[in-house]
Each structure stands twice: as C-alpha cells, then as structure tokens.
Amino acid sequence: MREEIITSGRMNPHIDPHLEIWHWHIPLYLFLGGLAAGILFFAGLYTILGKEEKFAGAVRRAPVIVPFLLVIGLGALFLDLRHKLYFWQLYTTIKLQSPMSWGAWTLMGITPLSFVWAAIHIREFFPKWKWKFGFLEELEKFFVQQKQVLAWIMVILSVILGIYTGILFSAFNARPLWNTSILGPLFLTSGLSAGAAVIILFSRTHHERISLAKIDVMLIGIELFLIVHMFMGFLASTQVQIDAANLFLGGPYTAPFWGFVVVMGMLLPAVLEFLELRKFKIPVIIPVVLVLFGSLMLRFIIAYAGQMSRWLY
Amino acid sequence: MSNSRREFIKISTLGTAGVALGAKYLYSEVIGDAPLRFPASEGSLRTPTYCEVCFWQCAGWVYKNDSGEIQKITGNDDDPHCNGRFCPRGTGGVGMYHDEDRLKTPLIRTSERGKDTFREATWDEAFDYIAEKLKKIAAEQGPECVALFTHGSGGAHFGHLLKAFGSATISAPSFAQCRGPREVAFITTFGDIIYSPERTDIRDTRCLVLIGSHLGENMHNGQVQEMSDAIDKGATIITVDPRYSTAASKSKYWLPIKPATDIALLLAWINVLIENEWYDKEYVEKYTTGFEQLKAHVQPFTPEWAYGITTIDPNVIRETAREMRNASPAVIVHPGRHVTWYGDDTQRLRGVAILNALLGSWGRRGGFYNPEKMKLPDYPVPPFPKPNRMPQDAYQGKYRLANEVVSNGLCDATIPSVERECNIRAWIVNGTNLMAALPDQQKTIDAINALDLLVVVDTMPVEITGYADVVLPECTYLERYDMIRQSPHREPNIALRMPAARPKYNSKPAWWMAKQLAGKLGLEAWFPWNDLEEVLDWQLKQIGSSLDEMKRMGVKKFPRSYDDLYFAPGEEVTFNTNSGKIELYASDLEAEGFAPMPVYTPHEEPPEGFYRLNYGRAPVHTFSRTANNPNLTDLMDENTLWVNPKVAKLWGLKTGQYVKLKNQDGKVSTFAIKVRVTERIRWDSVYMVHGFGHNNPRLSRAHGRGVNDTELVTRVHVDPVMGGTGMRGNFVTFVTDEPTDGKEAGS
Amino acid sequence: MRYAMAIDTKKCVGCSDCVVACQTENNVPIGYCRDWVVEVTDGTYPQLEIEIRSERCNHCDNSPCVRCCPTGASHYEEGGVVLVTPHKCIGCGACIASCPYDARYSHPDGYVDKCTFCIHRIRKGEQPACVAVCPTKCMYFGDLDDPNSAVSKVLKKRKFKTLIPEAGTQPHVYYLI
Ligand SMILES: Nc1nc2c(c(=O)[nH]1)N[C@H]1C(S)=C(S)[C@@H](COP(=O)(O)OP(=O)(O)OC[C@H]3O[C@@H](n4cnc5c(=O)[nH]c(N)nc54)[C@H](O)[C@@H]3O)O[C@H]1N2
Ligand SMILES: Nc1nc2c(c(=O)[nH]1)N[C@H]1C(S)=C(S)[C@@H](COP(=O)(O)OP(=O)(O)OC[C@H]3O[C@@H](n4cnc5c(=O)[nH]c(N)nc54)[C@H](O)[C@@H]3O)O[C@H]1N2
Ligand code: SF4
Ligand code: SF4
Ligand code: SF4
Ligand code: SF4
Ligand code: SF4
Ligand SMILES: [Mo]
C-alpha cells in the first residue's frame, strides 16, 4: 500500500483537496468572450466580403448585443479578482507570455470597437435615433466611412479573442487536462458556433438563416473532431493526462460532459439544423439555445474538471 | 464564492466617498514605500526566555513586532538544550500567549463539581477563599493533608509555599506516569538517575538503540538534534517498536516487536552478549557485581526462545547484538522517558541498564556522560517547619524504592479509607491536567469528590479546571519571571526567563500567587522579598552574574568543576549503590522482595475483536498543553486512529471515517476519532496521539476533536516496585453502529 | 548567483517545525502555509519505507507562474528568487493554477503569497527561517554558483532529485535521497 499524506496539514482552501481558484466567473467570462468573438467575426467577415445586405443579421443586428456580452463578461472577470483595487495593474504592462495579459489587451481593443459597431448600426433597431451632440454625428460618419478597416480589425481581434479563451486554460501545464493545444481551436470553434447560432436568431431572411445553419453544422463537426482528437492525445500521453481524460471517461465528469456538451450541445442541435436544411420545420430557437447551452457547459466543465486534474508526485 | 461576493459588496458600498478613500489607499499602498510586505525587522527588542511548552526547557529569544505584539520565538545559540533551534511546539509557543480562550480572571465555583459553573472573582476573594479552607484543614488534621500536584515551572513557587505551610505532600505526574521506572532501575543498577535532559551522549554515539522511544515524534529537542548528528556521522540506529515510528524509518534495523514482550528481547540480547563474550570484559570486571548470577540467569533465554515470544527473527537479534558490540562503548541502549507501560517497567528498564553495563557505555563517550549542574544558592528564608507525616506515609509500605512521590498514590490517599488515620483533603493542582495525565479517570474523580478544596492553577480552561473550586489563571511563560533554569548538562549552565510582554487579561505569575497566598496564611517570613526579580538578582550575584547580565545573555555557561564528563581510562569509580558497584544483580530489589534480575512474564493479549490501545506523541503537540494553541492546531487539530489495512478491511473501515471506541471494560469514548488506515501499525493494535478529545467546551479549537486515550485507560497495571501506572494493557474495539461525524456538540 | 535549497529526506523527521517557523517569521495567516510536509509510506507491514519531504515553492528557473502573470507581479529577484509584489497583484489566480507544486495561496488580503526564500533574511546574510529552525539540520541553503556554499557541497556529495522534473520547471529545491 502507498500512503501519501500532508502531515503538516495544508488547509489552503484554493488548493486542497484540489485546485479551486476559479468558480463560475471565469467560464462565464470565457463563454461570453467566445460568443462575442463569434458574432463579431461573422459581422466583420461578411462586411469584408461585401455581403452586408444579404447578411444583415450578422453584420447589423446581432453585434448590437456584443457590448453587453463583453461588459457582463468583464464584470464577471472583475468579480473573480481577489485584489480588485489593483485591477488597473493589468494595463501597466504587456506580457506576451501571459494569456491573461493578452486577453486583457485584446478586450481593451475589441470592447470599444464593439461599442462603435453597435452605435453605427443602432438605427437598425431605433430608426429614428438621433445623437444628442453634433460631434457624435461627425464621429459616426467617420466610422461609417472606415467600416472596412473596422471590419478587418474586428476579424483579427475576434480570432485572437476566440483563441485566447481556450489558450487561457491550455497555458497551464500544471493542470494536465488543460495542457493540450487543442483547447485553443476547440474554444474558438465553439465560440464561432455559438456566434453563428445567435446570428440565426437575429436574421430575418431565410437565406441567411440557412447559410449560417450550414456553417454551424460544419463548426459542430469540427468541434467533435477536435474533441475526439483531444482524448486521443490524452490517452496517448503520460499517466497524469490519462488520469485527466478519465475524469470524462468514467470519472465524475463523464455524464455532464457527454450528456450536456456533446449530445445536447452538439449532436442534437446539429441534427435539428440538418433537418431544417432538409426543409423540416423546426422552431429556430431550439437549436440556438442548445448550441449556446453546450458552449457554456463546455467552458464550465473544462474549467471545473481542469481544476480537479493535477500532477501527482 | 461567498467570500468574493462579500468583497464585492464591500467595495460597491464604498460608493463615491469610497473612491476618494480608495485613491488614498492606493497611493499609500502603491506609490508609498515597501514593494513587499515583510515582517518586522529583527532589530526589534528581544527578551530571553526558556520554553514551557514541554519540560526540555529550551532557552530562546522572544521577538516583538512593531506594534509591540509577540511575533516569534527562536532558540538561543548558546543553549545546549536547543543549540539555537526550537522544536515546532516551542516555535509555536506564541500561540499560548495569543490564545483567546485563555483563563482570564480568577473563578470560584457556584455549583457542584464537574459542572463547570463559576463566577468571576477578584484575586483577593479567591485567596481569602483558599486561605480560609487551608487554615481549617491544617487546624483539623495538619497541613500535610494539603497536597500539591504540579508539572512545570510553577512547582517551585507553590512547592515553596507548601513547605512553608508545613506539607511535603508534593508530586508530579512526570514520575509515576512517566520516567519513574527508568530512574529507579538506573539508581538500582548504577546508583544514579538519567536526568532531564537525558545524559545520553547521542551526538558521539556509534550505535543508538531505541526501545519504544519514538524520537522524531517525541520532539525532545536536544536528543532529536543529536540523533540527526549521529545519522550524519553514520551511526547505526536500531529501533524496537511494534509501530513503524519515524525513528524506525531512519533506522538500519527496525525490530517490529510484538507489544509487551520487550523483556524477552532484552534477556536474549544479554544472553547473546554473554554467550559470545561480546561484553566489555574489563569494564564488567572492574565496575560490576553479580555477573555470574546474571550469566546463569540468562542462559536459557536464547534468541530462539525470544523469537517465540517477540516474533523477532533470532538472526536479527544476534546481528543487532553484534552491532552494539562493535560500537561499544560508544553505544546507547536508550532508557526511554515515558516508560510506564505494562506494570513490570522497572524490570524492563533494569534489562536496559544491564545491557548498557555489559556494553560498558555508562560513563563513556558516545554512551552516557556524567552531567553537571550549576547550582544557585537559595534565597535565605527561615527553615521550613518539619512535617509530621511524609507523603510516602500515604501509601505505607509500598513503593519504597520510588525516589519521588507517586501521584497516583496521593490520589489513592485522598479517597477516605478505614486503614488510614487521615486522608488528603485539599489539592492544589498547578500546570497538570490530571484528568488527562492520570489513568483511571473514575478514581481521580472519586478522589476529587472527597476533597474539601481543589485549587487549579492553569493557563487554559482544561478538564481539571472544570472540577476546581477555585481556578487561578496563570499568565503564560512569555509574560513572567520564573526561577533560573539550572539543569544538568555536559557544561553547567543557567538560563533566564523574563516577561516579554505584560500579562494579558487579569492573569498573574505563579510566584505572585504563592506570595499573596503566603500573606493570607501568615507565612510572609518565607517570602521576604517584593518580587521575583529581587530573588533572581540576589541568587545570580552569588555566582558572579546578575539579572542585568542574564537579560542580555539569556544563557550563561560555566566551566565544569572536574574533568569528569566520562570515566578516565582505568579510573576507580564508586557507584552510589549498596555495593558501590554497578549491580547487575540488584541487591535493593532483592531486599524489597522483588526479582533481582529481570524475568519475562507474559501479559494479557487482546480478546477477540479487540486491539491493544497504543499511544504516543505527535511532533507538533505536547499532551493537552497545546491542544488549543492556534498556531499548532492549524497543523494538527485532532488525533487519528491508526488501523492496519487488514483490520480496516475486516471492519469495513475507511480512511477519514469517524468511529468511537469501546474498551474492555465497556467504556465508550466521549467523542469519535478519524480512522487512518496505514501499514505503519500492526494488526493487533491501534494507535493514537495522546492529548486530544477535550471535553471542556471553553476550548474552542480543541473541544470534541479526536479521542482522549486516557478515558480508555481504565485498567492500570501498577508497577509494584515504584508505583508507576502501566497504561498499555488496555484493549479497544470499534463502535461503528452509532453514526458519528467527528466534532460533536455538548457533553 | 543562483539561490537553492537542498533538503535531506533521510534526516527530516517530518516535525513541521519549518512550517511553524515560516508562519511566525513571515506572518503567514492561520489556515495558510508557505511550506508543508509530505510523508510517503510504501510497502506492507513490516516491510516499509518512508520518504518525508518539506515542500515549498521551488523557485523554478523556468517558472510558469512568472510567465502567466499578467501584471508582472510575479517576477524574479536576485539569485533567481521568485517573488510576488503584492501591490502589483490583481489576485487573478492564474499563477496559482499554473504552479504544478501548488506552492501558492491567495492571501486573505487579496494578493497571492508564497515562499520568498526569506529574501529579507538572506539579504542580511541569515538563513531562511525554516532552514535556521530545523532541529535535524536537514536543510541546506545557499548559492549554487558558489562551490563552497552549503548547498553546492551537499549536492556534490549526495544523490538528489527534484519534484516533477517532467513539468520542465527546473526547480531549485533539491531533495537528497
Ligand atoms: N512532540 C512531543 N514530544 C514529547 C512530548 C510531547 O508531548 N510531544 N512529551 C515528552 C515527554 S513528557 C515524554 S515522557 C516523552 C515520551 O516519549 P517516549 O519515551 O519516546 O515515548 P513513549 O510514549 O514511551 O513511546 C511511544 C512509542 O512506544 C511504542 N510502543 C508501544 N508499545 C510498545 C511496546 O510494547 N514495546 C516497544 N518497544 N515499544 C512500544 C509506540 O509505538 C510509540 O512509538 O516525550 C517527550 N517528548
Ligand atoms: N493516557 C496517557 N496518559 C499520560 C501520558 C500518555 O502518553 N497517555 N503521558 C504521561 C506523561 S509522559 C506525562 S509527563 C504526563 C504529563 O501530564 P501533564 O503534566 O498533565 O501534561 P500537560 O498536558 O503538559 O500539562 C498540562 C497543563 O498545564 C497547563 N499549563 C501550560 N502552561 C502552563 C503554565 O505556564 N502555567 C500553568 N500553571 N499551567 C500551564 C496546560 O494548560 C495543561 O492544562 O502525562 C502522563 N499521562
Ligand atoms: S523541546 Fe520544544 S517544546 Fe520542549 S522546551 Fe524545547 S522548544 Fe520547547
Ligand atoms: S523542520 Fe526539518 S526535520 Fe522538521 S519537518 Fe521541516 S525539514 Fe523536516
Ligand atoms: S514552484 Fe510554483 S510558484 Fe514556485 S516558482 Fe515554480 S511554478 Fe512558480
Ligand atoms: S494572482 Fe497576482 S501574481 Fe498571480 S498571476 Fe495574477 S496578478 Fe500575477
Ligand atoms: S524559505 Fe522562508 S518563506 Fe520559504 S518556506 Fe522557508 S521560511 Fe517560509
Ligand atoms: Mo513524560
């Protein structure tokens, strides 16, 4: 028998019996960030492609909610900080090796951009909108002229943001479950898929809906592929990573992961969207909600399970 | 989660005013000085002390932080007890001072005993109450009927008071519950005791044999340090312990002996040394008597014979004997310290003494050195009145070889009996939690119920204070003067304890209490000074030092009066025994009608479904003394029950599960204990650390945590030689049908 | 200069004095610790073996905690000592998650704290508090670049290991085995 004990005790509440430093804030923040990245990505993309009219939902309508998503996300992140009064220290350095730093700066760029984007499309919702001050009118005009530039920046930043939501975890070598390069692409894909789903909700044309549903089905396919790869990677790796994978393969996270994330959040909406493409009448809201739910659960489960996985020595 | 929410609310309610405040805070925190938060500098004033967390009495320095709070304690580099390094308990001693559960003011009982209902009193009231009762007892039956039970530094002051009062009825649990058997065995054999700190020359030994001495868990500092030095120097360590102790894990040989069979192993070792002529012939010839009788006596006790009893492989017995021989005379068969195990303990320790004699280790480098003590003259007071009865009269005819007073004997003598002309009617209990220290709690309670007066002097509300009529709160050792430490060592030395801070609450030092009580009893003549500083300064000046000097130095060493740390080659030595020689054949044991040479007698084995209750020490705790210490409970706040995996499987026990225990007499533990399934314990025993399971709810951290081994020690095997209370002949079984989840309320 | 610590698992008795001394020296709040003691028992009664290790931050050469810190609060000081500057720390917890040894804790005041190698003492030429107190003298501290330092000498003489070398952190706390 092997017995390993910490004889001096170590009542560190964040560490023992397993890491518990991040609660709901971080996964929520990552979900909202990923979703925002997804929406802005499509908005930017269709603008660049000059398909603004055909994809009005993506370009003009859905992005209006992005500032809210980002503000709520940032709020959650702020709540999670334990030394809150010092949060501004984030903006005193740029640390390329730190995903947190990256994320902070990316958000610093993308959040104002999302406000601008929402502002220049505000008449989509309030056709009679008038800016109170003249200089705001001027500004709006300026931004509308520069829309292509904005779109480019938005596409780039949203990809960075999307990847960042995954890299934040995968940078942690210390937590075997997170220590996989697949998390970055997986979270990006999941964010894009969630973004596409939300756009479907906002789009008014059948064509736009169908196009995005196609994209979504494809993205879900990629996600599933990445998940399979992630597990293959784990199982082919060291014991600690095998242990990490086992959290999902018989361990405590098996049911929530396969049930909520894979079946309810990916397979089911993919099937529904596929049926819709085959001209079945499916209420739009159902697959959308399922995708969003799956995307949120993915972050929650990876965040919590990752904190349970550790090196043993 | 809830925490961060609270934080958020705190911040958001700061509101606009908060912003301004926050800015200021930020400024001072950030733009202001120190980039890192470091503790107070060492430049702050330090004061000397010697530690009271156990009885090793290491000397050290107390440091305060910038706000004048006691911050840390470190060892004094010049102190031979600690060599500048305290043990974890001593380092955590700050917690005794900071403990908010401390006794804060004198208390007087308002209801029946054991109920723990008191009213707060002034010191004057408390002393009047005590003095009145003491005077009455002295008038009716004589002052000898007032007994003092004491452990630790306060004993000197209350002892002085009691002697002035006319009583010599003074006892400590450190004899009959602890070292007694070894002192008696070594007096009988070598004519001298082992002392504290032990005179073992571990630093220079080449072979250290530990028989149930679990150094490393038993943190008696100097010995642990020297054991480590010995490991460094490649000494062989042999550990005899049924449990895989920490010391066992450091040993070249671990002999997992069947409990209660050590005498058989000792006899076999003696047999091997003699049969193979591996003993120190010259030494034995020159210094000992009774060798031939011993040789004849041990002849049948071969390793093969011992194997059947101890389960130790005969080859290992021979091999370890050879290791001892090879190292001889730099070998120590350690006498241990808490040795009251099975009731034949003096005889077992005689076996240890004889082995050392055969190996020639007594008086030799790497064996047992000859300690010397710096003795300070007593402050002049009138001679004490001569008591009419001595404490030994209480247990007439028994334990005549005991060189100290037998505490359980006094306990017996408190319970009225027709055989005695008088029984003890008042106890003053200082610094010993008798409810945890004395086995057979029921007897202690019976004795207490027969008392007219029970005064308890303590720092903490422990079990015994719950039975007191009057509780006197002593301040901790960090807040007071005490007598100069004068303990024997390689180099004579003294150490000072002075207050590092003013006593917290309404607590007072023992010397002050003794002096005040003396005033109430009309005994001022024996306390002719104003405060203890006066006494210490006078004493120190007699030996060419002073209080001022000692405040600076903390510890002062003196040269030895003779160069006699070890025997000189060929030196003639007269031992303080009947024969003047080392007695392998003990004449005084024989004279008292006991076996002059140790014999093995089998002890009772656990009945079906029961396991022997084994107990010991944890490095971070001293008995019940530290059980509520915030710094130390942080590291260990309950004891666990060590259970062998086979036993655990049989009973379906899992690590972390709580169980109660029931002993052979049907006594069930008050609280539940957490199971620790471990290979380190045999399948016929369970093990726990002594000092837990407190039932005084005023101990907020200790109450209900773990099990008190003492309450399960209802069967006591008294050593007929010296009255020691053998406590390891108790057996327990698991109570799993009552669902329990550790800390329990009430009771 | 490269500070390092070597801890002799053969002499350590697991008494936890290093933990208590660290707490009183560095004001570590009750309920938290910068160092801790691990005891590993292997085997079956009576064929047993114990390894005892006093553990703390390894002051890694390649520390993930410094890398992932967004504000630079976690940084290297002289001799490679890894420190946290409380007023730069935002309490994001990234470094706690990044340390494979679980050496960091979130201080109740909000910032993250951990072993400092007692840099305030070493700067004065003293030993870290845990090293200075250890009753078995089983800890050695010093400069790896100085061949005469206690730690260099003992590492030359004895076999040693580091914890989770596979994590690639290059620890500077060595365990003598
Ligand atoms: N940390 C700490 N250190 C202390 C103390 C403390 O409270 N805390 N108290 C101090 C005091 S006052 C004393 S007296 C000493 C006591 O310290 P020791 O004299 O070392 O201790 P014991 O309690 O006699 O021995 C406990 C060991 O005896 C073993 N044992 C049990 N039964 C048998 C048996 O039948 N045969 C053999 N060979 N071994 C057996 C147990 O498994 C355990 O390892 O410790 C001192 N040191
Ligand atoms: N079951 C069982 N019984 C045992 C033992 C065992 O291992 N198991 N061990 C035995 C041994 S070896 C010994 S030495 C005895 C020890 O027995 P005790 O001497 O009773 O041991 P402690 O728990 O150290 O002493 C305790 C009391 O002193 C108080 N105290 C602490 N500091 C001060 C102070 O400065 N002033 C005053 N006035 N009081 C103070 C504490 O609060 C505590 O109530 O127990 C013996 N009894
Ligand atoms: S051994 Fe530890 S508890 Fe005992 S006196 Fe020394 S430092 Fe204090
Ligand atoms: S103080 Fe020394 S012996 Fe005690 S646990 Fe720490 S390293 Fe080990
Ligand atoms: S042990 Fe952990 S906290 Fe210390 S330097 Fe290495 S990674 Fe950072
Ligand atoms: S918690 Fe503090 S030290 Fe750790 S990574 Fe965040 S800012 Fe840096
Ligand atoms: S080096 Fe200092 S800070 Fe680090 S564990 Fe030791 S005492 Fe604590
Ligand atoms: Mo003792």
What's C110's domain CATH number? Answer: 3.30.70.20
How many CB atoms within 10 Å of residue A308? Answer: 18
Residues across chain A: 313
Q: Does A20 touch chain C (CB under 8 A)?
A: no
Considering CB atoms only, which of B30, B636, B645 is closest to A1?
B645
The interface predicted TM-score of the complex, written ipTM, equals 0.92
Q: Does B30 touch chain C (CB under 8 A)?
A: yes
Tell me the average pLDDT across B281-289.
97
Tell me, what's the pLDDT at B394?
Answer: 80
Pairing between β-strand B658-663 and β-strand B673-677 as defined by DSSP bridges: antiparallel
* A2's tokens: 């092997």
How many CB atoms within 10 Å of residue A145? Answer: 10
Tell me the residue type at A47: T
Residue of C nearest to B620 (CA): C15
Q: How far apart are CA A237 and CA B604, in angstroms?
A: 56
Closest ligand to the CA of B437: 2
Tell me, what's the pLDDT at A134?
Answer: 85
* B323's tokens: 């290791």
What's the DSSP call for residue B738? S
Does B635 sit within 8 Å of C19, measured CB to CB?
yes
Task: Using alpha carbons, select from C53, C49, C76 the residue that is nearest to residue C63.
Answer: C76
- Domain of C24 in residue numbering reads as 3-176
Query: Ligand 5 atom 6: the closest Cα is on which residue?
Result: C60
Give the pLDDT confidence of B572-584 residue by residue, as tens digits.
Answer: 999 999 999 999 9
* B340's tokens: 């009251």
Residue of B nearest to C84 (CA): B36
Tell me, what's the pLDDT at B44?
Answer: 56
Tell me the average pLDDT across B412-438.
90
Size of interface A-C (CB pairs under 8 A): 159
Q: Is the pLDDT of residue B485 over 50?
A: yes
Tell me, what's the pLDDT at B725?
Answer: 96
* pTM of model > 0.80: yes
Assign domain A20-82+96-306 one CATH number from 3.90.180.10, 3.40.50.300, 1.20.1630.10, 1.10.150.130: 1.20.1630.10
**Is the fold of B181-369 the same as that of B611-746?**
no
**Overall number of domains in chain C:** 1
How many CB atoms within 10 Å of residue B389? Answer: 17
B109's enclosing H/E stretch is strand B107-109
**Closest CA–CA distance from residue B89 to any residue of chain C (Å):** 8
CA–centroid distance, residue C135 to ligand 8 (Å): 20
Q: How far apart are CA A78 and CA C68, in angstroms?
A: 18
Q: How far apart are CA A245 and CA B719, in angstroms?
A: 62
Residues A264/A293, Cβ–Cβ less than 8 Å: yes
CA–centroid distance, residue B238 to ligand 1 (Å): 16
Residue of A nearest to B679 (CA): A1
CA–centroid distance, residue B214 to ligand 1 (Å): 5
**What percent of chain B lies above the pLDDT cut of 70?**
92
What Rg value do the Cα atoms of chain A yield, rounded?
Answer: 21
Tell me the residue type at A84: K
Residues B674/B706, Cβ–Cβ less than 8 Å: yes
Lowest mean pLDDT among A182-186, A255-259, B91-95, B110-114: B110-114
Q: Is B508 helix (H, G, I), strand (E, B) or coil?
A: strand
Q: Is the pLDDT of residue C67 over 70?
A: yes
How far is Cα of residue B632 from the mean position of the Cα atoms in its chain?
Answer: 17
**Cis before residue C100, ω within 30 degrees of 0?**
no
Closest ligand to the CA of C81: 5
How many CB atoms within 10 Å of residue B656? Answer: 11
Tell me the residue type at A260: F
Q: Does B35 touch chain C (CB under 8 A)?
A: yes
What's the DSSP call for residue B479? G
Residues C61/C169, Cβ–Cβ less than 8 Å: yes
**What percent of chain B lies above the pLDDT cut of 90?**
87
Assign domain B611-746 one CATH number from 3.40.50.2300, 3.40.1080.20, 2.40.40.20, 2.30.30.90: 2.40.40.20
Q: Is the pLDDT of residue C3 over 50?
A: yes
Which pLDDT band holds residue A166 (cuts at 50, 70, 90)? confident
DSSP string, chain A: -EEEEETT----TTTSSS-----SHHHHHHHHHHHHHHHHHHHHHHHHTT-TTTTHIIIIIGGGGHHHHHHHHHHHHHHH-SSGGGGGGGGG---TT-HHHHHHHHHHHHHHHHHHHHHHTGGGT-TT---SSHHHHHHHHHHHHTHHHHHHHHHHHHHHHHHHHHHHHHT-TTSTTT--TTHHHHHHHHHHHHHHHHHHHH--SHHHHHHHHHHHHHHHHHHHHHHHHHHHHHHTS-HHHHHHHHTTTTSTTHHIIIIIIIIIIIIHHHHHHHHHHTT----THHHHHHHHHHHHHHHHHHHHHHHH-----
Where are chain A's structural domains?
Answer: 20-82+96-306
Restricting to A residues 74-103, those with a Cβ less than 8 Å away from any Cβ of C are 80-84, 86-87, 89-90, 92-93, 95, 97-101, 103
Tell me the residue type at B201: D
- Chain A residues whose beta carbon lies within 8 Å of the beta carbon of residue B4: 23, 79-80, 82
Query: CA triplet B54, B56, B61: central angle to 5 degrees?
Result: 85
Q: Is the pLDDT of residue B741 over 80?
A: no
Where are chain B's structural domains?
Answer: 181-369, 611-746
**Cis before residue B499, ω within 30 degrees of 0?**
no
Tell me, what's the pLDDT at A281?
Answer: 84
Q: Would you state the torsion angle of the CA atoms of residues B263, B268, B270, B274, taken in this order, to the nearest 10 degrees?
A: 160
CATH 3.90.1150.10 applies to domain B181-369: no
CA terminus-to-terminus distance, chain B: 35
Considering CB atoms only, which of A3, A82, A86 is closest to B4?
A82
Tell me, what's the pLDDT at A129?
Answer: 85
**CB of C74 sitting under 6 A from ligand 5:** no
CA–centroid distance, residue B178 to ligand 8 (Å): 4
CA terminus-to-terminus distance, chain A: 16
Tell me the average pLDDT across C80-92.
95
Looking from the CA of C39 toward its CB, the CA atoms found within 13 Å total 21
Q: Is the pLDDT of residue B556 over 60?
A: yes
* A94's tokens: 């740029």
Rounded mean pLDDT of chain B? 91
Distances from the Cα of A256 to the Cα of A189, A249, A290, B305, B552, angstroms: 20, 11, 14, 64, 68
Chain A residues near any Cβ of chain B (below 8 Å): 1, 3, 8-9, 11, 23-24, 79-80, 82, 84-86
Residues B529/B157, Cβ–Cβ less than 8 Å: no
Which pLDDT band holds residue C126 (cuts at 50, 70, 90)? very high
Pairing between β-strand B331-333 and β-strand C74-76 as defined by DSSP bridges: unpaired
Tell me the residue type at B251: S
Residues across chain B: 747
Q: How far apart are CA C25 and CA C19, in angstroms?
A: 10
Closest ligand to the CA of A311: 5
Residues across chain C: 177
Beta bridge partners, C161, equal C175
Q: Is the pLDDT of residue B489 over 90?
A: yes
Tell me, what's the pLDDT at A313?
Answer: 64
Q: How far apart are CA B356 and CA B279, in angstroms?
A: 10
Closest ligand to the CA of B341: 1
Tell me, what's the pLDDT at B738?
Answer: 63
Which pLDDT band holds residue B505 (cuts at 50, 70, 90)? very high
**CB of C54 sitting under 6 A from ligand 4:** yes
Q: How far apart are CA B346 and CA A309, in angstroms?
A: 55
How are the residues of chain B apportioned to helix, strand and coil, as percentages rounded to the nearest 5? 35, 15, 50
Task: Using alpha carbons, select from B430, B361, B427, B330 the residue that is nearest to residue B190.
Answer: B361
Residues B631/C24, Cβ–Cβ less than 8 Å: yes
- Ligand 1 — pocket residues by CB below 6 A? B 54-55, 89, 178, 211-214, 218-220, 240-243, 245, 257, 259-260, 262, 336-339, 341, 614, 616-617, 619, 621-623, 728
**What percent of chain A lies above the pLDDT cut of 70?**
100
Q: How far apart are CA B412 and CA B398, in angstroms?
A: 12
For chain A, which chains pass the contact test of at least 3 CB pairs under 8 Å? B, C
Q: How far apart are CA B210 and CA B325, in angstroms?
A: 16
Q: Is the pLDDT of residue B318 over 50?
A: yes
Q: Does C93 touch chain A (CB under 8 A)?
A: yes
Tell me the average pLDDT across B512-537.
97
DSSP string, B381-411: -PPPPPPSS-GGGGGTTS-TT-SS--HHHHH
Rounded mean pLDDT of chain A? 91
Does C48 sit within 8 Å of B249, measured CB to CB?
yes
Tell me, what's the pLDDT at B13?
Answer: 37
Q: How far apart are CA C12 and CA C54, in angstroms?
A: 8
Give backbone dihedrals phi and psi of C29, rounded to 5 degrees, phi first: -65, 150
Tell me the residue type at B707: V
Residues A191/A167, Cβ–Cβ less than 8 Å: no
Longest dimension (CA), chain A: 78
Tell me the residue type at C123: R
Tell me, what's the pLDDT at A173?
Answer: 85
